[in-house]
């Protein structure tokens, strides 16, 4: 399926498109600082097998290990920040994984996974947070509070409450509202998702009238993402600004 971009390029690649292929074949073309954010949900290294859900999914490409080398490269690209969803229980198997600035926790009510007899039910997922060289948060609407007589900045909290909306297209599909909440922490123009799956990050960016660049190695999920993005583009057209062309 073809996808028309916005007319500009990022490292010679068409912006506002999903590229079918291994992101590692393209990341070397991306100049440092060419995007504002990286927000992605890479393979967790859990060898996912579709189990007891009503949906049935095939194995995830590259899910034999967490792509640490790729994460190391991705951390250097965005101006502002990077976020990588992952599992908590295999992180220490990767000694070369850079230490994050902090960890974001997504609370997803509506069921749990894990050993119901010998483990606390898992109702959350985490994302590793790394700051870029030009990192700065968008100010909150109420951006200061009194603390012991001083006015201090209120930080964006490291816990996100967002309802899980289902996994109709991908076994680790994230809800669009979750991605929009994360993107809303920043004044940004372009987000990179090198493991875009069903396209949620792109859809979140489009809803916010922003730009994106995605990669997807799996042909089925590439088609799914392309169809969702192309369908959405018939509804909303991002607003152009003085420094970039209109998306369509």
Query: What is residue 38's predicted lDDT score, i.e. its pLDDT?
Result: 98
CA distances for 19 relative to 8, 172, 176, 222, 246, angstroms:
15, 20, 20, 8, 20
pLDDT, tens digit (0-9, with 9 covering 90-100), for 170-197: 456 689 999 999 999 999 999 999 999 9
Residue-wise pLDDT tens digits, 197-212: 999 999 999 999 999 9
SS3 210: coil
Average pLDDT for residues 47-53, to the nearest whole number? Answer: 44
Q: What is the pLDDT of residues 111-136, one digit of tens each?
A: 666 677 887 877 889 999 999 999 99
Cβ 178 vs Cβ 160: under 8 Å: yes
Question: What are φ and ψ of residue 159, in 5° steps?
Answer: -125, 130
DSSP 8-class letter at 23: G
Angle at Cα 14 formed by Cα 11 and Cα 17, nearest 5°?
130
Interval 220-242 mean pLDDT: 76
Mapping DSSP to helix (H, G, I), strand (E, B) and coil, where does residue 193 land?
A: strand
What percent of the chain has pLDDT above 70?
75
Cβ count within 10 A of residue 235: 8
Say which residue, 2 or 202, is predicted with more confidence.
Answer: 202
Mean pLDDT of 132-156: 75
**123, 109 contact by CB (below 8 A):** yes
- Sheet with 159-161, strands from edge to edge, namely 18-20, 211-216, 190-193, 37-40, 81-86, 124-131, 102-107, 159-161
Q: Residue 146: what pLDDT? A: 63
Rg (CA), the chain: 18
Q: Which pTM was predicted?
A: 0.82
d(CA 168, CA 51): 15
Q: Does residue 20 carry a pLDDT above 80? A: yes
Burial 31-59 (b: 16+ CB within 10 A, else e): eeebbbbbbbbbbbbbeeeeeeeeeebee
Burial of 68 (0-12, 13-18, 19+ CB in 10 A): middle
Rounded to the nearest 5°, which phi and psi values hold at 147?
Answer: -140, 105
- Whether 40 contacts 130, CB under 8 Å: no
């Amino acid at each position: 399926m073809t996808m028309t971009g916005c007319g500009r390029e990022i490292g010679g690649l068409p912006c506002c498109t999903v590229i079918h292929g291994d992101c590692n074949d393209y990341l070397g073309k991306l100049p440092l600082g060419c995007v504002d954010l990286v927000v992605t949900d890479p393979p967790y290294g859990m060898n996912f097998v579709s189990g007891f859900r009503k949906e049935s999914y095939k194995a995830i490409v590259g899910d034999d290990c967490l792509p640490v080398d790729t994460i190391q490269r991705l951390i250097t690209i965005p101006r502002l920040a990077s976020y990588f969803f992952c599992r908590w229980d295999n992180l220490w198997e990767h000694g070369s994984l850079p230490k994050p600035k902090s960890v974001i926790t997504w609370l997803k009510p509506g069921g749990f996974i894990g050993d119901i007899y010998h483990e606390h039910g898992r109702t959350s997922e985490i994302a590793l947070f790394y700051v870029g060289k030009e990192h700065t948060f968008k100010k909150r609407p109420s951006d200061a509070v009194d603390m012991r007589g001083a006015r201090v900045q209120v930080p964006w909290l490291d816990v996100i409450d967002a309802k899980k909306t289902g996994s109709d297209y991908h076994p680790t599909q994230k809800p669009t509202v979750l991605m929009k909440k994360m993107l809303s922490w920043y004044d940004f123009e372009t987000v990179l998702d090198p493991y875009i799956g069903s396209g949620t990050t792109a859809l979140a960016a489009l809803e916010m009238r922003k730009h994106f660049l995605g990669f997807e190695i799996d042909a089925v999920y590439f088609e799914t993402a392309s169809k969702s993005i192309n369908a959405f583009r018939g509804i909303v057209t991002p607003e152009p600004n003085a420094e970039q062309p209109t998306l369509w």
